[in-house]
Amino acid sequence: MSHKLLINPIYTSFGIKEKHLLQECIHCGFCLPTCPTYIENGKEMDSPRGRLYLMEAAMNGEIDISERFFEHIDLCLVCRACETACPSGVQFGKLMEITRDVTHSVRYKSSVSKLISNFILSVIIPSHGWLSTIFKLGWLYQKTGLHWVTKNTFMKNILPAKIRNINESIPPIPFKRFAKNNVQTFHAIGEKKGRVALFTGCVMDHLFPDVHAATIRILNWNGYEVVIPSDQTCCGALHVHSGDGKTSKQLRDINLSVFSDRSFDIIILNAAGCGAHLKQYKQENNKDNPTYPFSKKVKDLTEFLATVPLRNPEFPLYLKVVYDEPCHLIHGQGISVEPKQIIKSIPGTTFLSLIESDACCGSAGSYSITETEMSLKVLERKMNHIASTGADCVVTANPGCQIQLQWGMNRKNLSMEVLHIAELLDRAYQKSNGYPLP
């Protein structure tokens, strides 16, 4: 498939503003060693600088918008480590989203894969009904032992490699998602200091309801009433990463209206990927747009806890902990100190340093499914670093990372626990008198 100059979608869709964004790159190469794909394969085209160069070349009509081009665009994890490294502040993530968006229509003009991907992105993911049904089936699949059979018997050799990898990476699926179809309110314990909303998302809600529960207990314990508005939907980050800007915007509008008229001060997130995306809502519009107060209210749980007088855990939790930084927390939101402080505040816990803790684990939304080979290489590197620390548990702050790291543990036969930071803090609080029981 090749699309030459005339129908060059990048050329027409990239405006002057985007051109200037691209030109902010001074070609210094700072980003190269921070890019997981460049570290793995050493190719300039698979580095941030190379990808920007390709975008510009495509924009100028110097290269074809072909599968060869997409290969390098797709291989990007959008972990945005390059943004942290960039001395001239190039907005790489944004440029990648635009590129994927404007090439989307050309790329999947009429293919089965387009139909399937569209169906998943625009029908299944935004619907809690669909998701519940699918995860119920998944629950059954695991409970009946079928999952065990496909993972551990000859069956696994029959499956194509890609399906096998996905099959093996599925974490235990809970019976029910956390949120309900009506608004829920959880009351503060002790003196009430404020009222916050919880953004429940899709993956976290359906796969890790315990993390939501822990998040709420932590907030309640620290004096905050937590509201879960009903009808909220997926944040749309997955769609943007896959180039489906249209659905992403629809989802954004739903969320904006759901969260628009409430009496809470802050919108709390415990999924870094969604947080980074929700904070970007404002960038797409100017300041007097209704999205502005919304995205200003968005706070990651750790970010929020750092701004309030946090109750110290009273009883020690004897654990050796490493913290693996979710890309969309450190690079996407610039949050790195806060979670570490929380871990260090737990008595009895030893905080171990992790080499390349700021590097991607290879999960990256749907990346581990679409680019399994690279994802596994990136994961392998991550797990080697983690294994060398000798920790009891790895803490992170994003559901995708949790799935990926847990899979990494299984693959390497490691017995370390993978915890969301909310689960760790919740566990530390649990012996305190009056703390709600799970």
Partner 1 sequence: MAIDSIFISNLLSLLGENRVITHPDELIVFECDGLTLHKQMPDAVVLPKSTEEVSEIIKLCQTNHTPFLARGSGTGLSGGAIAVEGGVIIQMSLLNQILKIDYEDEIAVVQPGVINLNLTNETSPDGYHFAPDPSSQKACTIGGNVAENAGGPHTLKYGVTANHVMGLKVVMPSGDIVELGGKIEEFSGYDLVGLFVGSEGTLGITTEITVKLIRNPEGVKTFLATYNTINDASNTVSKIIESGIIPAAMELIDNLVIQAVESHLKAGFPTKADAILLIEIDGVKSTLTEEAKRIESICLSQNAVNFQEAETMEERNLLWRGRKEAIGALGKVTPAFYTNDGVIPRSKLPEILEFDLDIGKRYGLEIAHICHAGDGNIHPIILYNPDNKNEIKHAIKISEAILKKCIELGGALTGEHGIGTEKLSSFGIMYSDNDQNQMLRLRKVFNPTDLLNPGKIFPEGAKCGESRINQTIKKGGWI
Chain contacts with partner 1 (rule: CB under 8 A): 23-24, 26-33, 38, 41-45, 49-50, 53-54, 57, 62-64, 66, 68-69, 72, 85-89
Which residue, 20 or 287, has its beta carbon nearer to partner 1? 20
Which residue, 43 or 162, has its beta carbon nearer to partner 1? 43
Task: Collapse the DSSP code of 276 into the 3-class scheme (helix H, G, I; strand E, B; otherwise coil) and give the result.
Answer: helix
Residue 52 in contact with residue 7, Cβ under 8 Å? no
Query: Can you name the residues that pair with 352 across neighbouring β-strands?
Result: 322
Least distance to partner 1, CB of residue 212, Å: 36
Which residue, 39 or 274, has its beta carbon nearer to partner 1? 39
Which residue, 77 or 317, has its beta carbon nearer to partner 1? 77
H or E element that contains 409: helix 399-412
Which residue, 34 or 398, has its beta carbon nearer to partner 1? 34
Which residue, 86 or 226, has its beta carbon nearer to partner 1? 86
Query: Can you name the residues that pair with 396 across neighbouring β-strands?
Result: 420
Least distance to partner 1, CB of residue 40, Å: 9
Least distance to partner 1, CB of residue 149, Å: 35
Least distance to partner 1, CB of residue 122, Å: 31
Least distance to partner 1, CB of residue 71, Å: 9
Least distance to partner 1, CB of residue 287, Å: 20
Which residue, 274 or 378, has its beta carbon nearer to partner 1? 378
Least distance to partner 1, CB of residue 288, Å: 25
